[in-house]
Amino acid sequence: MRRRRGLPIQLILIIVGAILFVILVISFFRSSPEEEAKELVHSFYKYEQDADFGSSWELFHPLMQERFQKADYIQQRNHVFVGHFGTDTFKFTIEDAEKLKSWQMTQNSTTFHDVYKVPITQTYKSTYGTFSIHQDVFVVHEDGDWMLLWSYR
């Protein structure tokens, strides 16, 4: 009588099951690029909501940082929203991110590829009543970091 060589079928099934379980756990905890883009937008508007405009400015892409010097951005955001609108905070909602093949911040700026468009709505209760601002913000992954841009087209 010959004996079969090799692994018993039960051991093979256990190994395959363990590999599938590890793959499932890894994929469960890994964020998609769309979710990472939304997380950056959430962080940006959470800073803005808390009037931490310096921290929100840090999340801008360098093209945005060129448009606003940090000190000017902090002063202007505070002046407009607190001074003019008469409100010290707002609520915000973030919609699902949409991947764009290419996008430009201005008609003559760099073309970005694999950009995520994330619509947001900020709702203010101010001395002038309740109003909302709807804006599409754009997120790019560059040099290992996620960065935010606004459209000026």
8 part of a folded domain: no
Element (H, E) at 81: none
Buried b (16+ CB within 10 A) or exposed e, 5-35: eeeeeeeeeeeeeeeeeeeeeeeeeeeeeee
pLDDT of 43 above 70: yes
Considering the domain boundaries, does residue 139 fall inside one?
yes
Residue 3 confidence (pLDDT):
58
Q: Is residue 103 part of a domain?
A: yes
Going 146 to 39 to 26 to 114, the CA torsion angle's sign is negative
List, for residues 53-91, the tens digit of each pLDDT value.
999 999 999 999 999 999 999 999 888 877 777 787 899
Q: Is residue 46 part of a domain?
A: yes
**Is 24 a member of any domain?**
no
What is the per-residue pLDDT across 123-143, written as a single tens digit (0 to 9) for each? 998 888 899 999 999 999 998
Per-residue pLDDT at 1 exceeds 70:
no
Span 90-108, average pLDDT: 95
- Number of separate domains in the chain: 1
Report the chain's mean pLDDT, rounded to a whole number. Answer: 89
Q: Is residue 133 part of a domain?
A: yes
The Cα-based distances of 2 to 5, 9, 23, 82 in angstroms read 9, 18, 38, 86
Q: Which of 70, 118, 76 is nearest to 94 (CA)?
A: 118
Token reading at 43: 């962080």
Tell me if 42 sits within 8 A of 94, measured CB to CB.
Answer: yes
Enter the DSSP assignment of 108: T
Domain residues for the domain of 90 are 32-150
Is 23 inside any structural domain? no
CATH number at residue 144: 3.10.450.100
Residue 128: what pLDDT? Answer: 83
Q: Is residue 49 part of a domain?
A: yes
Select from 104, 106, 39, 41 the least CA-distant residue to 67.
106
Phi-psi group of 59: left, alpha or beta (phi > 0 → left; psi -120 to 50 → alpha; rest → beta): alpha
